[in-house]
Structure 1
Amino acid sequence: PALRGAADCVRDRLGPASVVVANAGIAAAGSFAHTDAALWNRVIAVNLTGSAATARAFLPHLLTTRGHFLQVASTASFGSAPMMSAYCASKAGVEFFAQALRNELAPTGVTVGIAYLHWTGTGMIEDLDEHPVLRALRAHQPAFAGRVHPPGQVAAWLTRSIARRAPTVYAPPWLRFLQPLRPVFPYAVSYVSRRALARLSPADLAREAGVLGPGGRADWGAEDRSPALPVTPPHT
């Protein structure tokens, strides 16, 4: 209801939206066994259910304007890293949600794009090097692949894709060349992750999961956590 109300406010003040970007997201780092069930569910609610709620609220606008919906996904959907099960599951989910929505809306003239973001310098990854598995994954990547990209640069890539109504946008652009290799990624991530986990102490593995970044912590600490109205900063 809150998102529908926001959509009505947009229509009243600015007219029907012609571009909608589903970009809200939070992440929790920790083993599944030591992640509070409510926190795990909240990550799914914000990232996946929140994206669907955004699309549902603004779909009448897009049908009127024959507009464009951009779903922000992540390279987390390429190969799921342990200790990030909810985040990876949600990003794989939004990718497939957007693909299904694209096919459903094609006859109407509404286009749907999917953005695959890699390391983006937002608050979500401010403690990246303190997360052992993510630190190991990044360390095993070539230098160019481990680079953290400024939010302004990523926003520019997304803006250009919207102007072209591109079905996919990769940030950074070289990620497009990895799409044919996606069947290999789960095996590569599994190999690196198992080596990283083997170096952790039992205490590290049993540590209670925590929310990453100030946006995620603010959302998790809010008294009213409606899954239909995620309010968080840009991310990957």
Structure 2
Amino acid sequence: MATDPAMEAGVARGNGRNVQDKVVLITGAARGIGAGLAHRLAADGAKVALVGIEAEEQRRVAEEIGPAAHSWEADVTDWDALGKAVDGVVEHFGGIDIVVANAGIATTGFVRSVDRDAFERVFEVDMLGVWRTFRVTLPHVIERGGYLLAISSFAAIAHAPGMANYSAAKAGVEAFCNSLRGEVAHLGVKVGVAHPSWIKTDLVDSADAHPVFGEFRSNIPGPLGKTYPLELALDAIRAGIHKRARTIHVPRWVGAVKLFRAVLPKLTELGVKSRIAKADAAALADIEARGAREAAVTGRSGRAATTD
């Protein structure tokens, strides 16, 4: 994948910390942000460990990268599988310097009608998966005075209807990282949280293709509803990892929106007031036609994570 000359110049000048020969563990690395980061960090000289449930896709990513990458199959909600994978990473690469808790899924649906199991699975993967990933890897990261980065979302800041579980899970990730940061600073470990907006990934493409919520999202005005290229997120997150950044905002205006959190819920309610009844009725009709589970699941990762 293409590299960012400005980022490379910044590292060369010492404006960030080099990832040369560092071991970076990335969860959910089969595609999208996880796979893209694996490519870019390996190009920067890192050794990348890919951990996730989509084994075949991850192996393909590792093969594309070459000897600097290796894949381990593990569900971030499974303590035993995750621990076994981390042990394998340490045995293979000798340790872990940086962890990117990227694994995440989403559903579409309103609270009163969404499939219950799919709804709860988002919390298990997106929030508890971060806690489990960090808990299992933390001894190794402490040993090397490393860096933990969790991929949260703009949804942690702006809470849209139809995304109650995703917004709550991602807000929980942000709060978790803010608490953890103070706990491990004296151990030489830095903690960061990234807030991407709508990024062109399989997850967002799948949500946009949903017969109800795709149309609902298309009416979000201006930059708040715009889908941004994957490369923008990869550039920003890669730069943040080099800097061991506390926060990463994609695009940068997401950071400014944080200043208005107190009024965002009311503004969101006013913005959807005229459309919510129609969308609610359409969601019920979609569930009647396709079933609650099928209507709720988005993205290939989401389908893999919610398959019985």
Shorter-chain TM-score: which interval? Answer: 0.7 to 0.9
CA positional deviation for 1:36: 2.5
Other-structure match for 1:56: 135
**8 Å contact kept, 2:99–2:137:** yes
Q: 1:134 to 1:189 in 2, by over 3 A?
A: farther
Q: Which has the larger radius of gyration?
A: 2
- The question of whether the paired residues in 1 share the 8 Å contact of 2:115 and 2:296 is answered with no
Counterparts in 2 of 1:9 and 1:82: CA distance versus 1, 3 Å: same
1:215 lines up with 2:290 in the alignment = no
Taking a change above 3 Å as real, the CA distance of residues 137 and 182 of structure 1, as seen in their structure-2 partners, is farther
Distance across 1 between alignment mates of 2:175 and 2:133: 16
Report the counterpart of residue 252 of structure 2 in structure 1: 173
Aligned counterparts of 1:76 and 1:134: Cα–Cα separation in 2: 16
For residue 90 of structure 1, the aligned residue among 169, 190, 208 is 169
CA distance in 1, matches of 2:226, 2:243: 26
1:26 correspondence with 2:112: no
What is the match of residue 101 of structure 1? 180
CA apart distance, 1:95 = 0.8
Note if contact 1:67-1:111 (Cα within 8 Å) is conserved in structure 2.
Answer: yes
Which residue number in structure 1 is paired with residue 272 of structure 2? 193
* 2:112 alignment partner, SS class: helix
Residue in structure 1 matched with residue 85 of structure 2 by the alignment? 6
> What value does the CA root-mean-square deviation take over the aligned residues?
1.9
1:70 and 2:156 aligned: no
Distance change in 2, residues 1:131/1:193 (3 Å): farther
Letter in 1 for 2:221: Q
How far, CA to CA, are the matches of 2:237 and 2:112 in structure 1?
A: 36
Bigger mean CA deviation after superposition, 210-219 or 107-116 = 210-219
1:203 to 1:176, Cα distance in 2 relative to 1, 3 A: closer
Aligned match of 2:219: 139
Q: Unaligned 5+ residue runs, structure 1?
A: 224-236
Aligned partner of 2:203 in structure 1 is: 124
| Structure 1 residues 48-103: Cα deviation after superposition (integer angstroms, max 9, x where no partner) | 11110100111011100110000111111112222222111111111111111111
Q: What is the CA–CA distance in structure 1 between the aligned matches of 2:280 and 2:242, rounded to whole Å?
A: 49
Q: Looking at both structures, which has the greater relative contact order when contacts are Cα pairs under 8 Å and sequence separation is at least 6?
A: 1
Query: How far has the Cα of 1:114 moved from its partner?
Result: 0.7
Identity rate of aligned residues, in percent?
A: 33
For the residue of structure 2 that corresponds to 1:33, the secondary structure is coil
Conserved? CA contact 1:26–1:215, under 8 Å: yes
Counterparts of 1:128 and 1:42 in 2: how far apart (Å)? 20
Matches of 1:165 and 1:115, distance apart in 2: 11
Tell me, in whole angstroms, the C-alpha distance in 2 between the residues paired with 1:134 and 1:93.
Answer: 25
TM-score, L = length of structure 1? 0.86
> What is the CA-CA distance between 1:132 and the residue it aligns to?
4.7
